[in-house]
Structure 1
Amino acid sequence: MEDKDLELGDMENTIQERVHRFLDRVKKEESLNEQITPSIDLAPRKLREVSPQSFSPRVVSIGPLHRDDENVQAFERKKAIYLIKLMNHITSYTQETIMNSCMEKMYASMEKIKACYVLTKTYDDVEFAEMMVMDACFILGFIYETFEEKSPDMSHAEDVVRDLVLLENQIPFFFLKEIFECTIAKLMPNTSLVQFMHPILSILSLFDSYEGFSIPENIFIDDTHDHILGLLHKCHKPSENDNNKEEPFSITKPHSAVDLDKAGVSFKPYRSQTWVMGMETEFPCLLWSWCKCTFRMPIFYVTDFTEVTLRNLLAYEELRQTHDYITSYAFVINMLVNTQDDVAKLIDSEVLVNHMGSNEEVANMINKICKELAYVNSLYHQHWETLDNYYNSYWPNHIGWMRRTYFSSPWSMIALVAGSIIFALATVQTIFTIRGKK
């Protein structure tokens, strides 16, 4: 009986000890979650299923989420080459000194860095530290060699840039900045990490401006970026001077670019020094339903990078539940484009630049971009409501109907002209017949 009591007592002590360990771990994780919310996660399944290739790296893995992908293994050796080259450029310090500094930064922030990821695999501290330092040094070394040193080896440059924007292929920005200070800052002391990232951000930019891509001033003040993708997202943030308010977006009556054009809407580029994604509706007179409408919108720059960049920004907004700048625009461009004719109209209006391929390819890409996206509070609600009201007003509506009915094709125009001639001849014949009888 005593032995049984002892066994029960030991079991109770064991359970109590395990409970203490469990509660300690839970409290530790809670403390970490209060410090930082995971910002690097797998894309939402519904978005990944629409376009799996848009979320997986082609050549290089950054961080732990795609570390074991078969297609990125061959590039791991090249990371070491970029690391050695980067350290060799810093002639005022030995390689051991540089690496010791990087590792000290890594181990000091180990738990904070791990908390940024929703990890799918367990890594010991040594393995995790070496992986993160290698990847951070590779990113910095790649940018330096490609855009500062103008390296002739550009065979994988485009694929690498593409992989650096993927949601699941990121490294915490605060840690990248720490490694930057240990390395690139020694070579370029008057350059910030955000300035250093400019070439990458410029290539990945979704929108064009007449002055080229520029980083908004508020980005240099704000130093709380999640990662490279998060930094790119903030580059599209409206300034405080822009009065756009997020409101529920109704898309019950979408009108394509061609339909709006036939109703009298002209498309023109939006010119602003404050927000590259701004939109405006303009009327030359107070009787807006009786005069032509001008819709100014951002210049959408479509390249081979566009779909991947756009999809990852959309996934980032959905996961982080942040402001829906990109999602707002995606719904608008999706409504405007139904066919390649709509793409052609936007190109002619200089609000879309096509460097991707045929207009049909661009239309197909845009038509699929909002699939599985949840409706959002849009920054462009008021503009679209104005366009819808204008389109449905008496004069534009009837003008649009006439254009669609009689001027949609050369044959309909020929039929209209022929019908008018026949009607005129019949009228003249009737008049002469009546006069002849008199």
Structure 2
Amino acid sequence: MAETEGARTEVLERKRALMEELAKSTTISSSWPVPVTNETCSAPLRECNTKEWLISVTNGTCSAPLGECNAKELLISITNQYKNAQPLICRAPELLCKDEKSAKFFYPEVVAIGPYHRCKANLKLAEDHKLAAALKFTSGRCIHEFYNKVKNVTAQARACYADKFELTDEEFACMLFFDGCFLLHFIDCCVKKKMEEFTMSTHLHGFIRGDMFLLENQLPFVVLDALMSLKQVKLDDFFLSVIEKARPYEAARAPYHLLDLLRTKLLGPPNDGQQAGQGEPNLNTFRSVKELREVGIKFRLSESHHLSDIKFHPGIVCGTLSLPKIVIDDLTRSQYLNMIALEMCSGSAGDYGITSFAWFLDCLIDRAEDVRELREKEILINALGSDEQVAELFNEIATDLAPDYRAYVQVLTGISDHRKAKFKVSIFRFLDTHFSSPWTAIAFFAALVLLALSVIQTIFTVYPRS
């Protein structure tokens, strides 16, 4: 019995040593728990399904031999599979819907696109208009050609949804066809400035544009691509009208759907702006635009208008924070919340660009005076209403978010270093106090002259001319 216990202990010690070597040779964080107990591995590890083995290790139930498995290559392979996974079209996360004020921004108001909201009574009005839109969009060619294109990708499109729907392939194909024609006909009319050809009332067009960019109201891009193979629609021109002064940008991959395309075009290329840095950022760097301005950090419009283009430029006395143009209107809250929801979906590979941007703006904007400062620098365009409403918008959007703080580590480090330079800050405050306007400058020089005259008078009083 003693020999058995001794052998078992020896095996466990070898397991612990092996796991320590694996932890050193792979990308597993030291904080990742790898339980090794009397109930876990107790045999030499040779041939195994390494993916299943890793899963069983994390669950504390591993009993398969590992042998010569290259854990580092396996982890890289699994990570790459996760990164390459397409985020499925799904329901908005419960975390974002728990607030009633935000929950309503995930549901369509006029038209249902896709299977999630197709049976809602308040959206039935648009169904007849989908037929009219399909007839107009396919005019000039046989409508069956368009339908067959969609039918060929129905199985691929169905796989893009996280949920299963009790629709036959024929019903699913019909839904995709009419919804796709409706979207593309609306976009085509917008681009050609022929909205009179769109059958729904003009006052509903703004609501339709909002419904197009809801996570639960998306159509797989493969459907739109199939329809556009027979009739071209200028999507880039449409997005230039949606995104204020955005530069054209072609992503390295095909979009998943229109909401994903909007997000990609807003953020811009990864190397266009701030790159994720190494190390932990200082999250206590600042609390508002006003606070930054008081320590000599000025604001200016960045060269591009992509949301990723945020940079800090140190100076001899003053620092400069460059920000992209930010347009705030009635659709901003809905679009940001749904893009954040998209980033929370499984398969987004930890890309939290919009989430991080919303968090950064929340750091900058605390009160209405912060909004006013950005407006005066022509960085923020307020088409929503009062400055108080804009401040409230970002304060509410950023609630309970988990951004990637590393996205702005270089900016936050630059701001922190500037604030720590007490001599620079003191010089700025002196100059700001005495030279912020012509009148303060005149008053300062007048005070210097009076002081000099007083000194001269004192000298002549003490040492009178003989």
Shorter-chain TM-score bucket reads: 0.7 to 0.9
- Match runs of 1:297-308 below 5 Å: 297-308=323-334
Structure 1 residue 174: Cα displacement:
1.4
Task: Give the alignment's TM-score, normalised by structure 1.
Answer: 0.72
CA distance in 2, matches of 1:128, 1:122: 9
Which string of whole-angstrom CA distances, capped at 9 and with x for unpartnered residues, describes residues 373-424 of structure 1? Answer: 11314322111121122123313555798999x99xxxxx9xxx9xx9xxx9
Task: Specify whether residues 281 and 223 from structure 1 end up closer, same or farther in structure 2 by C-alpha distance, changes over 3 A only.
Answer: closer
Q: Which residue of 2 aligns with 1:330?
A: 358
Task: Specify whether residues 243 and 300 from structure 1 end up closer, same or farther in structure 2 by C-alpha distance, changes over 3 A only.
Answer: closer
Q: Which residue of 2 aligns with 1:119?
A: 163
CA distance in 2, matches of 1:359, 1:35: 41
Is 2:94 the partner of 1:45?
Answer: yes
Aligned equivalent of 2:109, options 49, 58, 63: 58
Amino acid at match of 1:371: T
CA distance in 2, matches of 1:305, 1:330: 15
Between 56-65 and 107-116, report the one with greater CA deviation.
Answer: 107-116
Q: Which residue of 1 aligns with 2:312?
A: 281
Task: Specify whether residues 401 and 256 from structure 1 end up closer, same or farther in structure 2 by C-alpha distance, changes over 3 A only.
Answer: farther
Where in structure 1 are there 5+ consecutive unaligned residues?
1-32, 186-192, 286-290, 408-412
Task: Specify whether residues 366 and 307 from structure 1 end up closer, same or farther in structure 2 by C-alpha distance, changes over 3 A only.
Answer: same
Structure 1 residue 34: Cα displacement:
13
Q: Which residue of 2 aligns with 1:134?
A: 178
Structure 1 residue 151: Cα displacement:
2.1
Between 393-402 and 73-82, report the one with greater CA deviation.
Answer: 393-402
Task: Specify whether residues 197 and 240 from structure 1 end up closer, same or farther in structure 2 by C-alpha distance, changes over 3 A only.
Answer: same
Aligned equivalent of 1:228, options 258, 262, 266: 258
CA distance in 1, matches of 2:94, 2:307: 30
Displaced runs of 4+ in structure 1, greater than 6 A?
Answer: 33-36, 399-404
Task: Specify whether residues 278 and 392 from structure 1 end up closer, same or farther in structure 2 by C-alpha distance, changes over 3 A only.
Answer: same
Aligned equivalent of 2:289, options 236, 257, 276: 257
Task: Specify whether residues 245 and 259 from structure 1 end up closer, same or farther in structure 2 by C-alpha distance, changes over 3 A only.
Answer: same
Task: Specify whether residues 252 and 366 from structure 1 end up closer, same or farther in structure 2 by C-alpha distance, changes over 3 A only.
Answer: same
Is 2:420 the partner of 1:392?
Answer: yes
Structure 1 residue 249: Cα displacement:
4.5
Aligned equivalent of 2:319, options 289, 293, 298: 293
Aligned equivalent of 2:298, options 257, 266, 270: 266
Where in structure 2 are there 5+ consecutive unaligned residues?
1-81, 435-439
Would the aligned equivalents of 2:274 and 2:310 in 1 still touch at CA under 8 Å?
Answer: no
Is 2:143 the partner of 1:143?
Answer: no
Is 2:228 the partner of 1:180?
Answer: yes
Structure 1 residue 56: Cα displacement:
0.8
Would the aligned equivalents of 2:274 and 2:311 in 1 still touch at CA under 8 Å?
Answer: no
3-state SS, counterpart of residue 294 of structure 1: strand
Amino acid at match of 1:301: V
Amino acid at match of 1:231: L
Q: Which residue of 1 aligns with 2:235?
A: 197
Would the aligned equivalents of 2:153 and 2:222 in 1 still touch at CA under 8 Å?
Answer: no
3-state SS, counterpart of residue 353 of structure 1: strand
Between 36-45 and 162-171, report the one with greater CA deviation.
Answer: 36-45
Amino acid at match of 1:172: P
Amino acid at match of 2:248: I
Amino acid at match of 2:287: H
Q: Which residue of 2 aligns with 1:238?
A: 269
3-state SS, counterpart of residue 162 of structure 2: coil
- Match runs of 1:12-161 below 5 Å: 37=86, 39-50=88-99, 51-88=102-139, 90=140, 93=141, 97-98=142-143, 100-119=144-163, 121-148=165-192, 150-152=194-196, 153-161=201-209
3-state SS, counterpart of residue 380 of structure 1: helix
3-state SS, counterpart of residue 155 of structure 1: helix
Task: Specify whether residues 379 and 321 from structure 1 end up closer, same or farther in structure 2 by C-alpha distance, changes over 3 A only.
Answer: same
Which string of whole-angstrom CA distances, capped at 9 and with x for unpartnered residues, describes residues 218-241 of structure 1? Answer: 33xx45210011111221232546
Is 2:247 the partner of 1:214?
Answer: yes
CA distance in 2, matches of 1:254, 1:160: 39
CA distance in 2, matches of 1:101, 1:234: 31
Amino acid at match of 2:269: P
User: Relative contact order, CA 8 A, sep 6+: which one is greater?
Assistant: 1
Task: Specify whether residues 354 and 243 from structure 1 end up closer, same or farther in structure 2 by C-alpha distance, changes over 3 A only.
Answer: closer
CA distance in 2, matches of 1:119, 1:133: 19
CA distance in 1, matches of 2:154, 2:255: 18
CA distance in 2, matches of 1:166, 1:67: 14
Would the aligned equivalents of 1:58 and 1:72 in 2 still touch at CA under 8 Å?
Answer: yes
Q: Which residue of 1 aligns with 2:219?
A: 171
Would the aligned equivalents of 1:249 and 1:377 in 2 still touch at CA under 8 Å?
Answer: yes
Identity level (%): 25
Would the aligned equivalents of 2:255 and 2:261 in 1 still touch at CA under 8 Å?
Answer: yes
Task: Give the alignment's TM-score, normalised by structure 2.
Answer: 0.68
Which string of whole-angstrom CA distances, capped at 9 and with x for unpartnered residues, describes residues 327-347 of structure 1? Answer: 222121110111001111111
Amino acid at match of 2:105: S
Task: Specify whether residues 41 and 381 from structure 1 end up closer, same or farther in structure 2 by C-alpha distance, changes over 3 A only.
Answer: same
Aligned equivalent of 2:335, options 306, 309, 321: 309
